Amino acid sequence: MVIGFEELYDLAKNPEAKNNLIQDSNVKELSTFMIDKYFKLKKEQSSMFNFRRCYWSYLQNMLLLFALIQVSHSQTKPHWQNPEVVNVNKLPARATSISYPHEKLAITADRDASPRKLSLNGIWKFHFVEVPSKAPQDFFQPAYPDSNWKELPVPSNWELYGYGKPWHRLTHQIWEKKGVDQPNVPEDYNPTGSYRKRITLPKGWKNMQVTLHIGAASSALRVWVNGIYVGYSEDNRLPAEFDVTPFLTEKENIIALQVMQWCDGSYLEDQDHWRMSGITREVYLEAAPKVQLYDFEVRTDLDENYEDAELQIRPEIVKFVNVDTKDWTVAAQLYDEESQPVLSKALEIPVEKILKEHYPQIGNRPFENLMKVDVKNPKKWSAEFPNLYTLVLSLKDIKGKLVEARSTRVGFREIDISDGQFKVNGIPVLLYGVNRHDWDAITGKAENKEAMRRDAELMKQLNVNASRSSHYPNPPYWYELCDEYGIYVMDEANIESHGKGSLFSNIPAWHTTFLERGIRMVERDKNYPSIVSWSLGNEAGFGPNHAALSAWIKEFDPTRPIHAEGAQNIYGYNWPKPEPKDRVYTDFLSRMYRLTDDMIDLSTKSDDNRPVIWCEYAHSQGNSTGDLEGYWKAIRKYRRLVGGFVWDWRDQLVFKEGGDTKPLWKHGKDFGQAQADLNPVQKGLISADGRIKSAGWQAKYVWQRVKITADSISKGLFTVENRHFRTNLNAYDLVWEILEDGKPIQSGTTDSPDVEAGISGKLRLELPQIDVKQGFHYHLKISFILKEDKPWAKKGYAIASGQFLLTHAPHLKITEKNSAPQLMESSSEIIITTQTAKLVFDKRSGRLVVYEMDGKNLISAAPKPNFWRAPTDNDLASGIIKRQGFWKEASAQQKLSSISTFKTEEDIKVITTHQLANSKAIVTQTYALWGDGTLHVNYHFQPEATMPEMPRVGWQLQIPSEYDQLKWFGRGPLESYADKKTGAFFGNYTESVKNDFTYYVRPQESSNKAEVYWAELTNPDGKSLRIESVDNPVSFSAWPFTQEQIEKANRIEELTFGETITLNIDYKQMGVGGDNTWNLDARPHKAFRVDAKPCSYSFKIIPLQ
């Protein structure tokens, strides 16, 4: 049976049919009021177009309910287990805006300032159950007693307040192992929260149309107002808006909401992230006139020279009452950053022209049909120059009186893909991007404006210019920040079926869900200039439903390219070669975690000229993000490689109290989850509490837009390559400083060279002569700094830096007269003494067991060669135990081959040779004690001809924990490794050993300094132990734990501070890798591995008073 508008009207006029409909147990959520309201509206509407636009969701619900009558009760499923029901009575999606009573308010574009917005954020009454059927049945009634209910803030995740469990999963929903399959969700466990809030409408809202806006609810939402059922919504990352005008009174009103954690839509919300519930984004009421600017879309069309523009506007009028609007108008005025009008005369259009727009029989209506105006050479918007205007739309009645005003920020820019490149305003742009989840360590996935602003600030500080909204639309405030700060956004639909691949894209019943999620995203976010691409989701394969969504978006918005990660003829991580051609409905060739060589091959194919992008790469789990430079050498070389998005931006850990001496974090297993994934929550460039990690500083260096190369340091000649896309280097100041062992001794500021974007130029610095001291290293650091404050950083912030070694004068060895050490030897020991120092070697083990200074032993455990490290997440993923486990045994088992002494006039040498277990590899250590107590160590390693790659080659010892103040001259201040060190500059740094340690949630190798000239550890009495490299800098770290403790621990809390500090003085350690964290590709790239080859190095240990 086909039911049309009139058939529905006639059927529902029949009292018996209407009563049957209402009494049916399957459709009890439909009230008599809703049906009556339909007829009232039907009679009042003068425009069927407006009726369809405003009440299409009401009609959908009617049609669905009549259809349900034909179905037996046993076959009917609730909405939350029916993929063909995605909403009931939800208003059509629209661009984010608010109604203003005055144009002056609209110019501010501050939605919170409008008296027509009533925030419902804050404390709500809350009731929690684990099964929907156990929720209080009549809780939505105004008289329902809620005095014994708990209270919960909105927005929030209820799990963080002790209700239910927050789950963290990589793939699949937790119930799938219980035999529950799509589209069903568990009936025995589906946490449900019921909310109630009492409100009174502001004065002046009488006779206004009132909309309830719920920014996001996870994952199924039902709404009542004053006991009357209003509607239903799915999609836990987009707003639900409902017309609540008829249900409200001038007195106290009760808003009642019910949220279920899981619904059929959860199968498309299978993101690699926390699964948390609740009302997670802002809730408010909006009052607007009965005739209103319901929606509008703005485009900017630049001319062929990307200079002048045509501003195009499509306003949409909705009439909630039957009012004659024949002589009403909509006016548009554009304002600059000083709030001054740009257009000499406001653009106007009759309301009737909007309502009666012609739709042709062939083709579609031109977008610019309604309102357009030429704008002469406006300031363009880009990530480097985020120039914004404010557009104010004013609806005026027949007398010219303002009915309402709405506004939005406008950025004049044009996105294009041509010649295999991604272009902004005609210029090829590379995307220095990150994947960003909504997350805060305290508030979880609930909207947190302060955390979002901090994210935007840090992204700009770290030279990030792009953010992928992984893997769902973000709150509107995030896009406003990206507009303001200049961050390109790939806006992604909330579609991920990670555990089931492309299944849902190939099932017709899920077609509505796919379209709903993509269309509502585009409708809401269409006016943000920062959004430069639409993404069809993540890890959901591809199929007809994706193709349909892509077709809709392309037709609706041809100004932005489409990204579809799953649009490949492959699934999984083992790709056939040659690679099948990607689907036509994606404008990018997108890959995740592909190796650089593979991407180069893909980008140089001649049969496909689409740009190639990493939608995810450089998997930053644990101690990771190695060789980011390798990716970017390729990206900057090959035309069609346009950048990518690092996985990911911020660690998703939950703050845990009690971390006074070390940071403590919660993860899935803290909430009783046997199936929880552990360290995947720690993959960020910044920490959960917003501190920049070593990976973040390295990314900043790799992504900086100025490359500085020394031509002749002695003459002060350099080449500077401007990697900006529009900015001349003269926009910055240039600062140079000369450092003596890391401490600045001279500095200066000068104008930056005049070098246009995309080219190189010369730099000449007039550097002063320096008085070179014996034993000191001198570096020159050059930085380009901000000339003025920016929203994201203060004047003087360095956006790019380079550092160069100027000169080095080696130490002169000075030995005091009559200070030669003395040698004593017994059958079991070798003892060497000076006036202040004493060494004791055990002849059976060949180990140094005592290093005494002024009667106090400086070592707590005998030093020994070390070839192992506590495996990082990448090490474990790449199979380090199997591939390199030999070196763990070799570190633990070393057999003494020989021990001998050799005396000179200046020192006494002890020479030990140890053979590694199960091999013929030899380590020879030569210890020389000088008269002043200095211990000189020479280390030589001689491997066998064929041995596996080595985690490290080094020397490890333990000293008393009282030497807990660390000072060093080398790379810093954070950890650095062979493939993650160029962003750590040489300097003179000071920190406590405990604070210097990098506390990964799963303890692992950390805190290394890749190149250190010297380090000092000092006790409270001011006595120090100085480690000093000889010839070449060493890799160095100081831990408040032993290596065995670190390797054994599964989490930070298992690490306990002891009586010793572990020192690692290494010749070399392999890099950290991080192409991924699940197979052999997780290991470091070849250049940053340590081959088993002969090597030697030397260092000194110097006791200082």
Residue 39: Cβ within 10 Å count? 14
What is the rounded CA–CA span in Å between residue 321 and residue 44? 6
The one-letter code for the residue type at 515 is L
Q: For 517-536, give the DSSP string.
A: HHHHHHHHHTT-TTEEEEE-
Distance CA 830, CA 841 (A): 5
Burial class (CB in 10 A: 0-12, 13-18, 19+), 747: exposed
Cβ atoms of residues 296 and 313 within 8 Å = yes
CA–CA separation, 163 vs 639, rounded Å? Answer: 52
Q: What is the DSSP letter of 202?
A: P
d(C-alpha 976, C-alpha 1033), whole Å: 13
Q: How far apart are CA 263 and CA 265, in angstroms?
A: 5
Cα gap 412→426, rounded to integer Å: 13
Please answer whether residues 495 and 238 qualify as being in contact, where contact means their C-beta atoms are separated by less than 8 angstroms.
no
For 734, phi then psi, to 5°, come to -115, 130
Closest-CA residue to 654 (of 635, 669, 641, 642) = 669
Helix locations, 488-614, DSSP H? 511-525, 544-556, 596-603
Which of 539, 565, 975, 1011 is the catalytic position? 539
Between strands 329-335 and 347-350, the pairing is: antiparallel
CB-based contact 100:106 (threshold 8 Å): yes
Query: Which residues have CB under 8 Å from 551's CB, separation 6+?
Result: 585
Continuous segment of H or E residues that includes residue 8: helix 5-13
| Cross-strand bridge partners of residue 790 | 793
- CA–CA separation, 1064 vs 880, rounded Å? 20
- Other beta carbons less than 10 A from residue 430's beta carbon: 21
616 is catalytic: yes
Count of CB atoms within 10 A of residue 912's CB? Answer: 23
Contacts of 501 (CB under 8 A, 6+ apart): 539, 540, 541, 571
Residue 721 near residue 757, CB atoms below 8 Å: no
Contact 891, 865 (CB under 8 A): yes
The answer to whether the CB of 154 falls within 8 A of the CB of 283 is yes
Contact between 902 and 909 (Cβ < 8 Å) = yes
Say if residues 62 and 328 touch (Cβ distance below 8 Å).
no
Name 252's Cβ contacts closer than 8 Å, sequence gap at least 6: 198, 199, 200
Residues 6+ apart with CB under 8 A from 615: 435, 468, 490, 535, 538, 563, 565, 590, 591, 592, 644, 645
Evaluated on CA atoms 130, 244, 27, 545, the torsion sign reads negative
Active-site residue flag, 286: no
Q: Choose, from 241, 404, 496, 616, the residue flagged as catalytic.
A: 616
From residue 598, how far is each of 570, 605, 620 by CA, in Å? 15, 11, 20
**List of E strands, 462-530:** 466-468, 488-492
CA-based angle 814:816:819, to the nearest 5? Answer: 130
Positions annotated as catalytic residues are 539, 616
